[in-house]
Amino acid sequence: MSSRTTWPDRIAAATVWTAAVLVTSIFLWLLTDLTLKGVAHLSPQFLTAPTEDAGRGGGIGPILVSTLLILLVAISASVVVGGPAALLLAEFSPAETRFGHWVRRSVDVLAGMPSIVFGLFGNALFCKLLGLRFSILAGGLTLACMILPLFIRITEEGFRAVPAAYRQAAAALALSRSTTIFRILLPAALPALAVGLVLGIGRALAETAALIFTSGYVDRMPESLYDSGRSLSVHIYDLSMNVPGGDGKACASALVLILVLLGLNVGTAWLAEYWRRRGHLA
């Protein structure tokens, strides 16, 4: 009897470990390849100097600034719009209602939409109709549209995962709906909000097609959100595909992109944990 129950467990454990080792190995392989080809180009000057000779010379200072500004716009718009939308779906619109059903189906369809479609949409709406032209603001708002479906669904599930006892205790204490949301539900759902934000940031950082049509190719230092700016992903694509001899700089830029993503992930997780503890202490 023990052998019958042990072998399935061992097979399942071996499968899980194999998958984990495979994923980790692929990541380490890619990271090692990028490091070997790009580490020689990394330096403080590379991070701050302007781009020269179509990317063969100089650094990525203006491109790094443009990328962070695009991310700032995308994250701000996603949180401002996605947070209330997720709260509406989780707390005020049950899944069985017609409104909730159609909103969720719309979000699911948007989550699977190709990035090139978002790029064309952003170009038509933000660049042309709203008159933003090729700009950091247009690129950030387009990325926000891409982040929103994933962010809304994950945050909604985070609100739904909060135990019903929390809501019942708040009702027993005669707390208002707003107090219950901001002092009880929101702190408890912060880990899910952070996960949705981190996954959205990961997609936004790696996006190329949508930004080519909205933020543009310009590699100079932006002076405002209305200036055109080249993101790191677009810069990597341009160096590897259109610039002869740009592979080394492309690998170095990819390493910087990974480090930026890692730093944002760690920072977001720390902020979520800090807010969660502060909410519990309050």
pLDDT of residue 281: 45
Q: What is the pTM of this model?
A: 0.83
What token pair was written down for 277?
């503890």
How do 51-52 and 57-58 pair as beta strands? antiparallel
Kindly report the three-state secondary structure assignment for every residue of 108-168.
HHHHCCCHHHHHHHHHHHHHHHCCCCCCHHHHHHHHHHHHHHHHHHHHHHHHHHCCHHHHH
pLDDT of residue 92: 84
pLDDT of residue 20: 93
Per residue of the chain (282 residues), what is the pLDDT tens digit? 445 557 778 888 889 999 999 999 998 998 898 888 888 888 888 888 888 887 788 889 999 999 989 989 998 999 899 988 988 888 887 767 788 888 888 888 888 888 889 999 999 999 999 999 999 999 999 999 988 988 898 888 888 888 888 888 888 888 888 888 888 888 888 877 877 888 787 777 777 888 889 998 888 889 889 999 899 988 998 888 888 888 888 899 989 888 888 887 787 777 767 766 765 544
Kindly report the three-state secondary structure assignment for every residue of the chain.
CHHHHHHHHHHHHHHHHHHHHHHHHHHHHHHHHHHHHHHHHCCHHHHHCCEEHHHCEECCHHHHHHHHHHHHHHHHHHHHHHHHHHHHHHHHCCCCCHHHHHHHHHHHHHHCCCHHHHHHHHHHHHHHHCCCCCCHHHHHHHHHHHHHHHHHHHHHHHHHHCCHHHHHHHHHCCCCHHHHHHHHHHHHHHHHHHHHHHHHHHHHHCCCHHHHCCCCCCCCCCCCCCCCCCCHHHHHHHHHHHCCCCHHHHHHHHHHHHHHHHHHHHHHHHHHHHHHHHHHHC
